[in-house]
Amino acid sequence: MRYLLPFVFLLLCDTILPAADLSPIVDSQTIAVVRVDLKQVDMAKITQFLVDEVTDIVPQIQSNQEEAAPILFYAQAGIMTGAMYVQPILSTLQNEGKADEIFFLIDKKAADEQICPLFVAVPAPDSKPKEEVDAIRKLFLQTHLPVVFQRHGFLIGMPVLDDFGLAGKDDVMDFAKERFADPSTEKRPEFAEAFGRSDIAGSMIQIVFGFSMFAEEWAAQPDVPETVLARLPPEFREMIEVQKVSRKLMTEKLNYVTTGLDIQKPELKSVTSMTDEAAAREMLEVNEKTIQLYVQLIRQNDNDSPIGAMLPTLTAVLEEFQPKVIGGELHFSFDTKMYASLKKAVVEIVPISTSKWR
């Protein structure tokens, strides 16, 4: 029995160890963090799933099979090309780099300064062997992430996108060095809480959005003047009022939104954390009212348009996809059954929309 104890311990560690401590590189400018559990990623399964779905859906949304054939070919080719690009990266991270997870950070400060707002971070503590760190650094350099530096237990890369009119390499290099020069002292407890959730943290991909950096901007947005409101139709005035309530809720009572995704199944779980149950119920009411108003506006103004023709199907899907309030949170789950409903809706909607516009 004693010989089994080390294996039991390792098994437990593999399931209960939290994600890397992001606090040194997550601060008031961090909009979102995406964590990918590399141990769960199987590119062969993901690629096969995507190819199968495209092969199933394209002939259904394009009744003319002569036109469907090239669409199907390019879609399948795009998936296979993407897989061929990702697989070596994944293999290097998993094998030579011995990395279990990778993070993508969306940065407001970088976006405000016209620099690509994406950072890529791989845990690289001081105890990590040099050859593994070198393998990850070399991988970054080979995949157009030329700004690579080691800070606070992470290897961090940042893309340079000169062709897209954003900052050039020197500007990006200077920005990145300054951005993570010192460990962050600005606490973002919502990120730590979201990544510690047992119901979502075990997902293949977890996405966490924090909104505190927008609070001042949203609170400072002026209301629509009464003189303008008075000239608008009643349904537009109601929409503006609902959006005003939504903005106030997001500014004052929204903690974070986190989503867990498994592409291979596919499954999705999402949680919107509010300050209390009353706020969660109010947010649900705002969401429901917003959908109702949009449907009403489309029916009044575009009933004969492509969007109007989609309404029955869209409404049925939206009703099925409503979140539930649990305590101070809005919970939404997307399973294989709901995926089948969504796929059915896509098949019904796309032929309508394409034929109406011809």
What pLDDT is stored for residue 309 in this prediction?
Answer: 66
CB 82 within 8 A of CB 126: no
Per DSSP, the residues of 42-72 read: -HHHHHHHHHHHHHHHHHHH---HHHHHHHH
Which residues in 178-227 belong to E strands, given as ranges? 205-210
pLDDT at position 4 is 39
User: What's the pLDDT at 67?
Assistant: 80
Determine the Cα angle at 245 with ends 244 and 251, to 5°: 90
Mean pLDDT by 10 residues, the chain (358 residues): 37 48 90 95 92 89 80 92 92 94 94 88 93 93 80 88 65 84 85 92 93 78 80 81 88 93 88 95 91 76 61 71 91 84 76 54
Task: Return the sign of the alpha-carbon dihedral for residues 208, 213, 215, 218.
Answer: negative
Question: What whole-number distance in Å separates Cα of residue 297 and Cα of residue 291?
Answer: 10
With 0-12 / 13-18 / 19 or more C-beta atoms within 10 angstroms meaning exposed / middle / buried, residue 218 is middle
Residue 278 corresponds to which tokens in the numbers above? 């009353």
Is the CB of residue 272 less than 8 Å from the CB of residue 330? yes
331 and 271 in contact (C-beta within 8 Å)?
Answer: yes
Q: Is the dihedral of CA 38, 173, 106, 49 positive or negative?
A: negative
Which is nearest to 152 in space by CA: 129, 109, 132, 181? 181
CA 162-107-261 angle, to 5 degrees, is: 105
Alpha carbon distance 177, 182 (integer Å)? 10
DSSP assignments along 268-314, one per residue: EEEEEEESSHHHHHHHHHHHHHHHHHHHHHHHHH-TTSHHHHHHHHH
Rounded Cα distance, 76 and 82, in Å: 10
> Which has the closest alpha carbon to 28: 270, 160, 190, 174?
190
Enter the DSSP assignment of 264: T
Please state the pTM of the whole predicted model. 0.83
From residue 181, give the alpha-carbon distance in Å to each of 23, 127, 152. 14, 21, 9
Give 185's Cβ-side CA count (13 Å radius).
Answer: 2
SS3 207: strand
Question: Across-strand partners of 256?
Answer: 210, 273
Specify whether the CB–CB gap between 153 and 21 falls below 8 A. Answer: yes
**In terms of Cα–Cα distance, which of 84, 79, 81 is closest to 58?**
79
Domain ranges of the chain: 40-179, 212-357
Look at residues 34, 26, 17 and name the one whose alpha carbon lies nearest to residue 192.
Answer: 26
Q: 266: cis peptide before it, omega within 30°?
A: yes
Show Cβ contacts of residue 105 under 8 Å, excluding neighbours closer than 6 positions: 25, 26, 30, 32, 33, 34, 118, 119, 120, 121
